[in-house]
Chain A
């Protein structure tokens, strides 16, 4: 049997080209016709849709209250899609009272049941659309259908279900997600999962604790990050168990969560974490110390200003600049530390915050500092360099790791 290449060759280039020309010309004609027809169709469709949206908007209150019987629009897919879209958009911006009214409308009109059915029985894109729409309704009865979506083999469907549950933003949805994670492990990318959990666990972050204790390492990290975002004062003592955790991410999460707990021991814990060997744990601790706005944090922040990591130094500097009443003493200490990287970071933060002028004024007005010292500080502020008479040595720099800078 002749191969395809032999057949092609026997056909001869000329005959082949002729056929190819005809095919290409037909394809051109079809493409043009498709563009033309599609444009015409869409123009008519959107004109019709606009007119119908306008009509339905005019009678929206009557529609929602049920004065206009649901059957008048429910049986027409075109109208149903418009009504659902308007209702879900309104839902996103509605207050509690309006939300309750809209939810009642979605329930009594049967739209939620329809979406639940679609989320369970449709396939592919239509199922994904139904899952997300179901989540947007925030109706708890949709949670089981969304939980089924989480167990689908297709990743896109799982993601759509996760987004839907995220929109529910309630502890029941969080429980479903966490149960599924316990069952199947991490089978979706981190960020959509974190996003959904952040929304769902905001009300009850304690839900996360047992799962963090028992999860495998990477999932533990992901859940730890969520905990860092959603921590509340009620979580204070529970967070302490993560301060000494083996996982860097968990320690970082604990540092991130600490200011939200408003606990009295937060400065001490954060100071401890600010000396962690891992840079991003130190970074989180320094950022959190800055958020506390507590003078007890100043010595740790000054230490952070001389950290071997550039980001830690910057965040420490930004935090220090926020202590507006302590500007002169802090600046004195920054200069006394004789770390030019720390000094530059501090001056940069000062410049960025537009506080340089204020520090100059305060230096001028300060009566506690002797004139000599004041002059020296003014020089440092003006030139951005440390005084030359006492050259800094690498040995004198705390955490010195010049090569890392």
Chain B
């Protein structure tokens, strides 16, 4: 038993070390990339892109299911975006609240007999509506499809542009977000097939007239911790993976894709739990199989602000769902592991996701149990135990502060001193007991999936309530 605990603790030590080294590498790569990106931005002027006749048209697809609280603000925000040629398609996915009525009132919708070719199979479409106040707005009203993917596919069928951008109905885009996210595509339209933007936590900020007016840190601790998580995930993780063309996730809340390629892979998988991750994984597979020279990129400055769960229950459900989504995608992709054909995706990105994302909750919780057990049985020196904890704590804090630093030296959205002080202090506080709770939620997600509970369920939304709408 003691021997087993000893081996287990050593294994855990090396696992932590490897994970921390990976994160440190990503932090360094991300800092370097961000600074280079900032420099590059100095020689760009967004106004020039806004005026160019060569910018390709974009269709924004907004899947909406019971979004009566946020739909007006969200759609108004999208219609005000700076971009030369824009089409906005809102897909009302069988909402049983007033989502469609809200849009009817706000945008004076009228039923139109428009062409709708169901290239990707979806739940039946009830009708198409065009706005009287803004001709670029089209609303697709359909039967509930049971998943966000189904709704996005309906939007995809109605889309008429060479690029589609999927945006959540509870999200707010910054006015120049589309111009910024399209920059890599405009520079290299042949190679860049998809681009992801950054998602930020909207809770606590102020919105007026469909635009984000003032960015503030949310009040609740659980929301602030999510701010740090988002900074870490996007400004470090995605930035670094994107730099190596190994980006596996473009957030479903904000990403641009080449329409023909999304159609070529059959649109979104309607049964996928993490439809955004699933699509990117299938795009990688498709493009690698076609031996195409491509790039899936992440750009950290086009910002999308989204509502984050503000209570433990919703957050737990969200994280369990993300973990289920991870397994739901990684399992079908297991044939890509360590296959030469899939290059760095098969050798690096997917193994990382398996080891440090998918199995992390099981390994971490198992590790905590064995360490405690070894300490109780006297198989572990108490000094080493404390040191080990301290190391994990100090290192994880360093990564979190690193992400705050990254935000500070590049995009600096939290201008208030108080906000920054709170953000930094939560870098120290998030590790107990939030981190352990988070692992339990993720483990629950894995367990639910393995038990066969793998149905996509929408989260309960507050409808931008957490932001102050004026």
Question: Is the pair B387, A14 in contact by a Cβ cutoff of 8 Å?
Answer: yes
A292 to chain B, nearest CB (A): 19
Question: Is the pair A352, B398 in contact by a Cβ cutoff of 8 Å?
Answer: no
Question: Is the pair B189, A314 in contact by a Cβ cutoff of 8 Å?
Answer: no
Return the chain B residue nearest A92 by Cβ: B47
Return the chain B residue nearest A34 by Cβ: B405
Question: Is the pair A31, B398 in contact by a Cβ cutoff of 8 Å?
Answer: yes
| Chain A, range 251-285, C-beta contacts under 8 Å to B | none
Question: Is the pair A314, B417 in contact by a Cβ cutoff of 8 Å?
Answer: no
B289, CB-defined interface residue at 8 Å: no
Stretch at the interface among B108-116, B263-271, B336-344: B108-116
CA distance A167 to B384 in the complex (A): 64
B42, CB-defined interface residue at 8 Å: yes
Question: Is the pair A189, B188 in contact by a Cβ cutoff of 8 Å?
Answer: yes
A38, CB-defined interface residue at 8 Å: yes
Q: Which of B10, B52, B160, B395 has a CB less than 8 Å from the CB of A311?
A: B160
Q: How big is chain A's contact interface, by range?
A: 35 or more
B434, CB-defined interface residue at 8 Å: no
Residue from A17, A25, A129, A314 having most chain B Cβ neighbours under 10 A: A17
CA distance A167 to B409 in the complex (A): 29
**Cβ–Cβ < 8 Å partners of B112 in chain A:** 348, 351-352
Question: Is the pair B53, A198 in contact by a Cβ cutoff of 8 Å?
Answer: yes
A76, CB-defined interface residue at 8 Å: no
Question: Is the pair B43, A17 in contact by a Cβ cutoff of 8 Å?
Answer: no
**Cβ–Cβ < 8 Å partners of B43 in chain A:** 128-129, 131-132, 156, 159-160, 163
| Chain B, range 50-71, C-beta contacts under 8 Å to A | 52-54
Return the chain B residue nearest A27 by Cβ: B398
Q: Which of B13, B114, B117 has a CB less than 8 Å from the CB of A352?
A: B114
**Cβ–Cβ < 8 Å partners of B117 in chain A:** 310, 405
| Contact pattern, B 392-428, Cβ under 8 Å of A = 1, otherwise 0 | 0011011001101100110000000100100010000
**Cβ–Cβ < 8 Å partners of A194 in chain B:** 54
Q: A198-B53, A351-B113 are in contact. Are A189 and B189 (CB under 8 A)?
A: yes
Return the chain A residue nearest B417 by Cβ: A39
**Cβ–Cβ < 8 Å partners of A227 in chain B:** none
Question: Is the pair B54, A17 in contact by a Cβ cutoff of 8 Å?
Answer: no
Question: Is the pair B387, A32 in contact by a Cβ cutoff of 8 Å?
Answer: no
A384, CB-defined interface residue at 8 Å: yes
Question: Is the pair A344, B115 in contact by a Cβ cutoff of 8 Å?
Answer: yes
| Contact pattern, A 219-231, Cβ under 8 Å of B = 1, otherwise 0 | 0000001000100
Question: Is the pair A345, B398 in contact by a Cβ cutoff of 8 Å?
Answer: no
**Cβ–Cβ < 8 Å partners of B186 in chain A:** 191-192
Question: Is the pair B52, A38 in contact by a Cβ cutoff of 8 Å?
Answer: no
**Cβ–Cβ < 8 Å partners of A405 in chain B:** 117
A336, CB-defined interface residue at 8 Å: no
Question: Is the pair B187, A28 in contact by a Cβ cutoff of 8 Å?
Answer: no
| Contact pattern, B 356-394, Cβ under 8 Å of A = 1, otherwise 0 | 000000000000000000000000010110011011001
CA distance A194 to B397 in the complex (A): 47
Q: A28-B398, A195-B48 are in contact. Are A17 and B405 (CB under 8 A)?
A: no
B130, CB-defined interface residue at 8 Å: yes
| Chain B, range 89-115, C-beta contacts under 8 Å to A | 110, 112-115
B132, CB-defined interface residue at 8 Å: yes
**Cβ–Cβ < 8 Å partners of B384 in chain A:** 13-14, 17
Question: Is the pair A314, B160 in contact by a Cβ cutoff of 8 Å?
Answer: yes
| Chain B, range 125-167, C-beta contacts under 8 Å to A | 130, 132, 135, 160
A24, CB-defined interface residue at 8 Å: yes
CA distance A190 to B187 in the complex (A): 7
**Cβ–Cβ < 8 Å partners of A314 in chain B:** 115, 160
Chain A residues in the interface with B (C-beta under 8 A): 13-14, 17-18, 20-21, 24-25, 27-28, 31-32, 34-35, 38-39, 92, 125, 128-129, 131-132, 156, 159-160, 163, 166-167, 189-192, 194-195, 198, 225, 229, 310-311, 313-314, 341, 344-345, 347-348, 351-352, 354, 384, 405
Chain B residues in the interface with A (C-beta under 8 A): 10, 13, 39-40, 42-45, 47-48, 52-54, 110, 112-115, 117, 130, 132, 135, 160, 186-190, 381, 383-384, 387-388, 390-391, 394-395, 397-398, 401-402, 404-405, 408-409, 417, 420, 424
Question: Would you give 24 A-B contacts (Cβ < 8 Å), ordered by A?
Answer: A13-B384, A20-B394, A21-B391, A24-B397, A25-B394, A27-B398, A31-B405, A38-B408, A39-B408, A92-B47, A128-B39, A131-B43, A159-B43, A166-B48, A167-B48, A191-B187, A192-B186, A194-B54, A195-B54, A314-B160, A347-B113, A348-B114, A351-B110, A352-B114
Q: Known contacts A35-B420, A352-B135; can you find 4 more A-B pairs with CB under 8 A?
A: A17-B391, A32-B424, A39-B420, A190-B190
